[in-house]
Amino acid sequence: MEIKIECGCGQPFEFDVEPENGQMPCEIKCPACAADATPLANAYIAQTLSAGSISTPVAPSAPEPPMEPASGLRINRPHSAPAAAPLAISPVAPVNIAPLSAATAPKKSKGDGDGFIKGVAGALIASLVGMFGWYILIKITGYEIGFAAWGVGALTGLGARLLGASGSTKLGVLAGLFAFIAIIGGQYLVVRGIAATEFDKIALVSYQEQMDLANAAVVLKTDEDAKAFIAKQDEVNVSEVASDRLKEFRETDLPKFRDLIAGKPSKAEFMSRINLVMNSWSVQFAMLKESFGLFTLLWIFLGVGSAYKMGAGTND
For residue 84, is it within any domain? no
Q: What is the mean pLDDT of residues 144-167?
A: 82
Quick one: pLDDT at residue 129? 92
Q: What is the mean pLDDT of residues 137-146?
A: 73
For residue 74, is it within any domain? no
To the nearest whole percent, how much of the chain has pLDDT over 90? 6
Q: In this structure, are residues 118 and 166 in contact, taking their beta carbons and an 8 Å threshold? A: no
Do 45 and 153 have their domain in common?
A: no
How far is the C-alpha of 148 from the C-alpha of 138, rounded, in Å? 9
Do 183 and 39 have their domain in common?
A: no
For residue 82, is it within any domain? no
The pLDDT tens digits for 20-67 are 888 888 888 888 888 888 888 888 888 888 876 444 454 555 455 554
Q: In this structure, are residues 234 and 241 in contact, taking their beta carbons and an 8 Å threshold? A: yes
81: buried, middle or exposed (CB in 10 Å: 19+, 13-18, 0-12)?
Answer: exposed
Q: What are phi and psi of 14, to 5 degrees?
A: -140, 155
Quick one: pLDDT at residue 92? 45
For residue 64, is it within any domain? no
Q: Domain of 30?
A: 1-55+92-107
For residue 80, is it within any domain? no
For residue 77, is it within any domain? no
Do 148 and 283 have their domain in common?
A: yes
For residue 149, is it within any domain? yes
Do 148 and 218 have their domain in common?
A: yes
Q: What is the mean pLDDT of residues 217-223?
A: 88
Q: Which residue, 202, 196, 213, is CA-closest to 270? A: 202
Quick one: pLDDT at residue 110? 42
For residue 86, is it within any domain? no
Tally the domains of the chain.
2
Do 274 and 305 have their domain in common?
A: yes
| Cα distances (angstroms) measured from residue 268 to each of 45, 202, 215, 231, 274 | 96, 13, 19, 30, 10
Do 25 and 153 have their domain in common?
A: no
- 3-class SS string, 44-89: HHHHHHHCCCCCCCCCCCCCCCCCCCCCCCCCCCCCCCCCCCCCCC
Do 160 and 273 have their domain in common?
A: yes
Q: In this structure, are residues 19 and 25 in contact, taking their beta carbons and an 8 Å threshold? A: yes
Do 50 and 117 have their domain in common?
A: no
The phi-psi region of residue 101 (left if phi > 0; otherwise alpha if psi is between -120 and 50; otherwise beta) is beta
| Cα distances (angstroms) measured from residue 173 to each of 121, 126, 131, 179, 198 | 14, 15, 18, 10, 37
69: buried, middle or exposed (CB in 10 Å: 19+, 13-18, 0-12)?
Answer: exposed
Do 212 and 188 have their domain in common?
A: yes
Quick one: pLDDT at residue 113? 63
Instruction: State the chain's mean pLDDT as an integer.
Output: 76
Residue 134 has pLDDT above 70, yes or no: yes
Do 24 and 143 have their domain in common?
A: no
Do 99 and 203 have their domain in common?
A: no
Quick one: pLDDT at residue 85? 46
Do 122 and 230 have their domain in common?
A: yes
Question: Identity (one letter) of the amino acid at 285?
Answer: F
Kindly give, in sequence order, each residue whose CB lies less than 8 Å from that of residue 98, ignoring residues fewer than 6 positions away: 13, 14, 15
